[in-house]
Chains A and B, each alone.
Chain A
Amino acid sequence: MISVGLVLPQQAHFSAPLVLKSGALLPGFDLVYETYGTLNAAKSNAILVCHALSGHHHVAGYYADQNDSIGWWDNIIGPGRPLDTDRFFIVGVNNLGGCHGSTGPASVNPATGKHWGADFPVVTVEDWVATQARLADALGIDAWAAVIGGSLGGMQALQWTLSFPERVRHSLVIAAAAKLSAENIAFNEIARQAILSDPDFHGGNYYAHGVRPLNGLRLARMLGHITYLSDDQMAEKFGRRQRPGAGSYSFEVEFEIESYLRYQGDKFAGLFDANTYLRMTRALDYFDPALAYDGQLAAALAPAQASFLVIAFSTDWRFAPFRSREIVHALVHNGQSVAYAESNCAHGHDSFLMDDAYYHAVVAAYLQRITL
């Protein structure tokens, strides 16, 4: 089993205005995307991969001119891998509001000639699905064989079946939930406050000041990272291990876990845009398809025509398995097709990105049964 190898990002421009769920109007937008495998003549073998909070369109393969540029979900995509590029045509897209090439807060607003900054609207999961549907139109894909995603990506895979029931045959919802809990929103709020209270944030218009709220973004990522891991895994990976020179009664890095979090925070802050982070977390908070149905998830999911595969991880406390089972039980209530698997992968919420044998075997077995 090998990687898809060298890949190239592509860009699509959409000139028709887009009304967002918030009521805001975008005059037009760009989406950057990548594809792997070959679209068959019937255009029936396309799989859309939706990304989570910090993801993007570069899902698999690597770039010729960059070392260390392996796609974020490369381990599941390729010839003979669960998302088998010998069978399927796989599309990865950077979501609207992102910071990896699609139109977002760091893009130039054509109306002003300046960075959108604070003026870039808050986007929702429903908005992302609407823009992804325009990309599907541009690629000539009437219906996805499957839409797949983990975490916030899983929410998109679920929303697809509600926004466009006839355009999704299978939905793979991994390490996700039908809505955030108060605790989930609380973590997001702290992450946002870290950014909003950074003196370099300048109300979201930091581009004009030639600075970035790196410290706030770094704190947001450090916090997020804790919630993606499991307690056991942290104990195993870091325990109370100390750095050389520890025990100096100072507030320098003394424990390995501190070093790890600072490294992850620094790395992320150097690559990611704070305005995008704010919007991604807000999209998570707002996602709640049952809201319009008096909180009845089964009623909300009733329009879906897709078959579902729901996967959760027993060590994931950010989106614990019982959150996935809520989706499963709502689908069972409706008599809709659903399979549910629960993996013991030790990596907490991040398990969905790991090469866990059982988890990958479940995805492979499920996709095998899709007729093209």
Chain B
Amino acid sequence: MHTVERADFDLIASWVKPNERVLDLGCGDGSLLKRLIEERGAFGYGIEREEAGVLAAIAQGINVIQGDLEQGLAGFDDGTFNHVVLSRTLQTVRHTERLLTEMLRVGREAVVSFPNFAYWKNRVAVMNGRMPVSEDLPYEWFNTPNLRFFTLLDFEALCAKMQLVIRERQVLDEAGRLVVAGPNFLGSLAVYRLGR
């Protein structure tokens, strides 16, 4: 696991309190949940589509539920979770608005992190005529799972349109350091806490 992912997880972990219920969407091998359980005393479930992730999460003792986020969160009751986490996955989802709506139906708070397409290095790459490849956008255009390319400003405009309340925003650079000034230019990864 590289440093930036840990930085992302560090922030999310700091927002979770003991005994809170967490749903981690696209939980992979369950590493974040394992951390939230062991370090924060949370109780959590993860949703993962890929067999390799489900197997690894089960081996780690994680409550992983195999499923596809594109199908929504049908079956999960309203207000079941304190936090619903979507770490570095929103840009791979086709039904963006529906998923955000679903997250705030089943959870009281949505925690969303995503790569900022307007990060200055990405801008430079495009200025030089190439699609960006970076720590937070580590794919080539022909093999990326990412469907959506958007910026902090784009995301916040969507939140306004959907009447989602931004409770907190933290922005990190490629090294995982907090960015305070000029986040849409200097930030590579954004982490938001959203509510209704």
Residues of A within 8 A of B (CB): 309, 325-326, 328-329, 332-333, 335, 337-342, 358, 361-362, 365-366, 368-369
Residue of A nearest to B57 (CB): A339
**10 closest A-B pairs by CB:** A329-B75, A365-B59, A340-B65, A365-B58, A342-B66, A369-B61, A341-B66, A339-B58, A358-B51, A339-B64
With A326-B75, A369-B59 known to touch, is A332 a contact of B66 (CB < 8 Å)?
A: no
With A328-B65, A342-B66 known to touch, is A365 a contact of B45 (CB < 8 Å)?
A: no
How far does the alpha carbon of A325 sit from the alpha carbon of B59 in the complex, in Å? Answer: 21
List residues of chain A with CB within 8 A of the CB of B21: 335
Q: Is A325 in contact with B75, judged by CB distance below 8 angstroms?
A: yes
With A325-B75, A332-B80, A333-B80 known to touch, is A366 a contact of B58 (CB < 8 Å)?
A: yes
List residues of chain B with CB within 8 A of the CB of A326: 75
Interface SS of chain B: mixed
Interface size class of B (residues with CB under 8 A): 20 to 34
How far does the alpha carbon of A117 sit from the alpha carbon of B153 in the complex, in Å? Answer: 76
With A339-B65, A358-B51, A369-B59 known to touch, is A332 a contact of B76 (CB < 8 Å)?
A: yes
List residues of chain A with CB within 8 A of the CB of B76: 329, 332
Residue of B nearest to A311 (CB): B66
List residues of chain B with CB within 8 A of the CB of A338: 45, 63, 65
Give a binary string over B35-64; 1 marks a CB under 8 Å from any A CB, 0 the rest: 000000001010000010011011101111
List residues of chain A with CB within 8 A of the CB of B61: 369
Q: Is A339 in contact with B80, judged by CB distance below 8 angstroms?
A: no
Within 8 A of A (CB), among B59-114: 59, 61-67, 75-77, 80
Q: What is the minimal beta-carbon distance from B194 to any residue of chain A, in angstroms? A: 22
List 9 A-B residue pairs with CB atoms under 8 Å apart, sorted by A's residue number: A309-B58, A325-B75, A328-B75, A329-B75, A332-B45, A333-B77, A339-B63, A358-B55, A368-B59
Which interface residue of B51, B58, B59, B76 has the most chain A CB atoms within 10 A? Answer: B58
How far does the alpha carbon of A7 sit from the alpha carbon of B45 in the complex, in Å? Answer: 41
List residues of chain A with CB within 8 A of the CB of B43: 335
List residues of chain A with CB within 8 A of the CB of B51: 358
Residue of B nearest to A326 (CB): B75
Q: What is the minimal beta-carbon distance from B85 to any residue of chain A, in angstroms? A: 15
How far does the alpha carbon of A318 sit from the alpha carbon of B75 in the complex, in Å? Answer: 20
How far does the alpha carbon of A347 sit from the alpha carbon of B64 in the complex, in Å? Answer: 24
List residues of chain A with CB within 8 A of the CB of B55: 358, 361-362, 365
Which of B59, B63, B67 is in CB contact (< 8 Å) with A337? B63
Q: What is the minimal beta-carbon distance from B157 to any residue of chain A, in angstroms? A: 33
Q: What is the minimal beta-carbon distance from A315 to any residue of chain B, in angstroms? A: 15
List residues of chain B with CB within 8 A of the CB of A340: 64-67
List residues of chain B with CB within 8 A of the CB of A358: 51, 55
Q: What is the minimal beta-carbon distance from A332 to any residue of chain B, in angstroms? A: 6
Residue of B nearest to A328 (CB): B65
Q: What is the minimal beta-carbon distance from B41 to any residue of chain A, in angstroms? A: 14
Residue of A nearest to B106 (CB): A332
List residues of chain B with CB within 8 A of the CB of A368: 59
Which interface residue of B21, B45, B62, B76 has the most chain A CB atoms within 10 A? Answer: B45
List residues of chain A with CB within 8 A of the CB of B63: 337-339
Within 8 A of A (CB), among B126-147: none
Residue of B nearest to A332 (CB): B45
Which of A333, A337, A362, A369 is in CB contact (< 8 Å) with B54? A362
How far does the alpha carbon of A199 sit from the alpha carbon of B67 in the complex, in Å? Answer: 49
Which interface residue of B45, B55, B65, B77 has the most chain A CB atoms within 10 A? Answer: B65
List residues of chain B with CB within 8 A of the CB of A339: 54, 57-58, 62-65
List residues of chain A with CB within 8 A of the CB of B57: 339
How far does the alpha carbon of A282 sit from the alpha carbon of B64 in the complex, in Å? Answer: 34
Which interface residue of B21, B54, B59, B63 has the most chain A CB atoms within 10 A? Answer: B63
How far does the alpha carbon of A371 sit from the alpha carbon of B66 in the complex, in Å? Answer: 24
How far does the alpha carbon of A341 sit from the alpha carbon of B54 in the complex, in Å? Answer: 7
Residue of A nearest to B47 (CB): A340
List residues of chain A with CB within 8 A of the CB of B80: 332-333
How far does the alpha carbon of A332 sit from the alpha carbon of B63 in the complex, in Å? Answer: 9
List residues of chain A with CB within 8 A of the CB of B77: 329, 333
List residues of chain B with CB within 8 A of the CB of A329: 75-77
Q: What is the minimal beta-carbon distance from A2 to any residue of chain B, in angstroms? A: 23
List residues of chain A with CB within 8 A of the CB of B54: 339, 341, 362
How far does the alpha carbon of A341 sit from the alpha carbon of B62 in the complex, in Å? Answer: 12
Identify 7 new A-B residue pairs, CB closer than 8 A, beyond the known A339-B57, A339-B62: A332-B65, A338-B65, A339-B54, A340-B64, A340-B65, A342-B66, A342-B67
How far does the alpha carbon of A326 sit from the alpha carbon of B74 in the complex, in Å? Answer: 10
Q: What is the minimal beta-carbon distance from A130 to any residue of chain B, in angstroms? A: 30
How far does the alpha carbon of A369 sit from the alpha carbon of B57 in the complex, in Å? Answer: 11
Q: What is the minimal beta-carbon distance from A333 to any residue of chain B, in angstroms? A: 5
How far does the alpha carbon of A338 sit from the alpha carbon of B66 in the complex, in Å? Answer: 11
Which interface residue of A325, A337, A338, A339 has the most chain B CB atoms within 10 A? Answer: A339
How far does the alpha carbon of A358 sit from the alpha carbon of B21 in the complex, in Å? Answer: 29
Residue of B nearest to A369 (CB): B61
How far does the alpha carbon of A358 sit from the alpha carbon of B75 in the complex, in Å? Answer: 25
With A338-B65, A339-B63, A340-B65 known to touch, is A362 a contact of B58 (CB < 8 Å)?
A: yes
